[in-house]
Amino acid sequence: MNYAIIAAGEGSRLRKEGFKSEKPLVRLHNEYLIERLIRIFKDNDAEQISIIINEESEELKEFLDKRDWNVKINLIVKSTPSSLHSFWNIIHHSSFSECCLTTVDTIFSEKDFKKYISSFQTNKQVDALMATTKFIDDEKPLFIEINDDNKITAFLDERTSEKINSVSAGIYCLREKALQVVDTAINNNVSRMRNYQRMLVSEKLNVCSFSFGKVIDIDHVEDIKKAERLLDLQKKPILALGRFSEYSPNSEDKDDKILNSVIENLRLQGYDVDKQNESEIDFSMKTYPYIISMARNPKVVDYLSEREKQGSIVVNSSTACKNCYRLIQTKKLEENNISIAKSTVVDTKDYNLKDIYWLQEGDFWIKRADFQTVEEIDVVRVKDFVTAEKVLENYKQRGIEKAVLSKHIEGDVIKFYGVNGSEWFYSYYPSEDKFHNKINFGNSRISFDKDRFTKEVQKAAKVLDLDIYGGDAIIDKNGCFFIIDMNDFPSFSSCREQAAKEITKRFLDKAGIN
């Protein structure tokens, strides 16, 4: 792979603020900017690195000349009127049909960069693969319009729509057709890289986006500290653990979306996040100090418990996940006087429903006690003992030893979401359950004390040690409320954007890395 670095700027803003050396010789944790890029490019199979510096950069030239870089360095000394002219000079003093270009002051995740280069080398049909970011910290950002196929359709000086939320990250992978457009641009007196990028689109080239996390350009002295903090954050890897589809009945896509939203928020703050699904987890993988988890598989939860004992911060914790198993949940909520429906636990191998007096009225719910819902029958409403016995037999045959029986309460069903430590709380009336059964018929709703309800749910979450939670409640005809279920890390599908922000903040606060 061929790489190119534009290091021909004067760094005038840095000099005005007291920085005496040339910008490429800014140090980040005892590594010069130019040195860092050369190292990263070498780590990504650099065959040749072309570097353009201006004619006044004597200190930089001496630094580059005196060291053996163990890679071919093509040094071009030429003062130019713009970055595009610098790139034109690189092309005409080099021999390559494709390259990766960046400016010397762009600070990015090395992991993101490795994936970026791999993507470019794999997708041969792409003429230009542009690094983009949703982190906007530029004085004059170049906004990018991207279609559903990840193709860039426009480069804009201003944001014209809420859907346009990405900007150029200043890193470009270009093939021959894109390189040829540089000549066309210069011949037409185009002098800015952003206008060259616009030409790539107008020339109908295949220009695509590759999303990076947080990217910083060093234009001011204060940016040096920002960049060092970014590099520090990238040394604190986070594992985001997705939920196996078996534990997301009819919600697999929704669960994935909320986790992806949290991951994006973390990456935009500069954190290094790896995503895995609990169905594919490698128990011998590297140790992660911080884990945000949707996992429910008992073996995975036990693994997370071991990680916690060894110092990893896990949100939700393994304890919180187990507390949502219905047997434990029912017991803890009852012990702490949380308002729940009248309930009892039976052994699926040895029970007598007629001995439970309140069941004689009929109309109650049977729920597997050892876990959460996997199949529709795991939470089922029954109105007679014959049906109940069939359900309990199903549980027994599946190795489910305990069941929770709960009295049915007629009323409005409310679904709620919350994040511990936050004032944010969201609730609404669903029209159907996760298995698409219709609920909440009609338009009239029963009035109740919403503030008291919110406090009761938040209390229940603390009792269960839940940082991220959701659940369901019933409001009866008298306006009394009863929590009927609490879940760890639901999909937040009706309030995803706000929830993702609150979850991100809670995770960072709990991990102590905010």
Q: What domain count does the chain have? A: 3
Same domain, 120 and 99: yes
Mean of all residue pLDDT scores within the chain? 93
pLDDT at res. 21: 83
Strand (E) or helix (H) holding 505:
helix 496-511
Range of the domain at 200: 2-232
- The predicted model gives 332-360 an average pLDDT of 93
In this structure, is residue 484 part of a structural domain? Answer: no
pLDDT at res. 320: 97
For tokens 């911060």, the residue is: 313
Nearest to 411, CA basis, from 469, 338, 484, 474: 474
Same domain, 73 and 36: yes
Same domain, 310 and 350: no
For 188-241, the pLDDT digits (tens) are 999 899 999 999 999 999 999 999 999 999 989 999 999 999 999 888 899 999
For 51-75, the pLDDT digits (tens) are 999 999 999 999 999 999 999 999 9
SS (H, E, C) 245-310: HHHCCCCHHHHHHHHHHHHHHHHHCCCCEEEEEHHHCCCCCCCCCEEEECCCCHHHHHHHHHHHHC
Nearest to 115, CA basis, from 231, 217, 212, 240: 212
Task: Give the integer Cα–Cα distance in Å for 46 and 41.
Answer: 5
pLDDT at res. 437: 79
Same domain, 246 and 208: no
Same domain, 264 and 198: no
Q: Which of these three, 232, 255, 281, is where a domain ends?
A: 232
The structure tokens listed for 507 are 């995770």
Same domain, 357 and 307: no
* Type of residue numbered 369: A
DSSP string, 173-224: EE-HHHHHHHHHHHHTT---HHHHHHHHHHTT--EEEEE-S--EE--SHHHH
pLDDT at res. 194: 95
pLDDT at res. 282: 82
Same domain, 404 and 259: no
Chain-centroid distance of CA 142 in Å reads: 23
Please tell me the pTM assigned to this model.
0.85
- DSSP state for residue 244 in the 8-state scheme: P
In the structure, what pLDDT confidence band is assigned to residue 19 with cuts at 50, 70 and 90? confident
Exposed (0-12), middle (13-18) or buried (19+): which is 257, by Cβ within 10 Å?
middle
Task: Give the integer Cα–Cα distance in Å for 488 and 183.
Answer: 57
Please check whether residue 495 is in contact with residue 417, taking contact to mean a CB–CB distance below 8 angstroms: yes
Residue 255 is part of a domain; what is its CATH number?
Answer: 3.40.50
Same domain, 48 and 129: yes
Same domain, 222 and 242: no
For 75-119, the pLDDT digits (tens) are 999 999 999 999 999 999 998 999 999 999 999 999 999 999 999
User: Residue 462 above 90 pLDDT?
Assistant: yes
In this structure, is residue 269 part of a structural domain? Answer: yes
Task: Give the integer Cα–Cα distance in Å for 474 and 415.
Answer: 9
User: Residue 14 above 90 pLDDT?
Assistant: no
Task: Give the integer Cα–Cα distance in Å for 80 and 55.
Answer: 9
In this structure, is residue 383 part of a structural domain? Answer: yes
In this structure, is residue 224 part of a structural domain? Answer: yes
Task: Give the integer Cα–Cα distance in Å for 44 and 251.
Answer: 39
For 244-299, the pLDDT digits (tens) are 988 887 788 999 999 999 999 999 999 999 999 999 888 777 789 999 999 999 99
Task: From residue 501, give the alpha-carbon distance in Å to each of 292, 465, 498, 506.
Answer: 14, 20, 5, 9
Same domain, 40 and 108: yes
Same domain, 228 and 294: no
Q: Which of these three, 202, 232, 262, is where a domain ends?
A: 232
Q: Within 10 Å of residue 306's Cβ, how many Cβ atoms?
A: 11
* Type of residue numbered 470: G
Residue 194 backbone zone (phi > 0: left; psi -120 to 50: alpha; other: beta): alpha
In this structure, is residue 298 part of a structural domain? Answer: yes
Half-sphere exposure of 168 (CA within 13 A, CB side): 28
Strand (E) or helix (H) holding 471:
strand 468-475
Same domain, 24 and 96: yes
Residue 188 is part of a domain; what is its CATH number?
Answer: 3.90.550.10
In this structure, is residue 468 part of a structural domain? Answer: no
Task: From residue 444, give the alpha-carbon distance in Å to each of 90, 185, 415, 449, 454.
Answer: 71, 65, 17, 16, 21
Exposed (0-12), middle (13-18) or buried (19+): which is 163, by Cβ within 10 Å?
exposed
Q: Within 10 Å of residue 95's Cβ, how many Cβ atoms?
A: 9
For 411-460, the pLDDT digits (tens) are 999 999 999 999 999 999 988 877 677 888 888 899 999 999 999 999 99
b/e map of 435-448 (b: 16 or more CB within 10 Å)?
eeeeebeeeeeeeb
pLDDT at res. 498: 97
Task: Give the integer Cα–Cα distance in Å for 37 and 7.
Answer: 11
Q: Within 10 Å of residue 478's Cβ, how many Cβ atoms?
A: 9
pLDDT at res. 34: 97
In this structure, is residue 435 part of a structural domain? Answer: no
Nearest to 326, CA basis, from 301, 344, 350, 308: 344
Q: Is there a cis peptide before residue 316, judged by omega within 30 degrees of 0?
A: yes
| Max CA separation in the chain (angstroms) | 95
pLDDT at res. 285: 75
Residue 368 is part of a domain; what is its CATH number?
Answer: 3.30.1490.20
Task: Give the integer Cα–Cα distance in Å for 144 and 172.
Answer: 14
pLDDT at res. 287: 82
Q: Which of these three, 199, 232, 265, is where a domain ends?
A: 232
Q: Within 10 Å of residue 25's Cβ, how many Cβ atoms?
A: 19
3-state secondary structure of 122: helix
- The predicted model gives 380-404 an average pLDDT of 94
In this structure, is residue 328 part of a structural domain? Answer: no
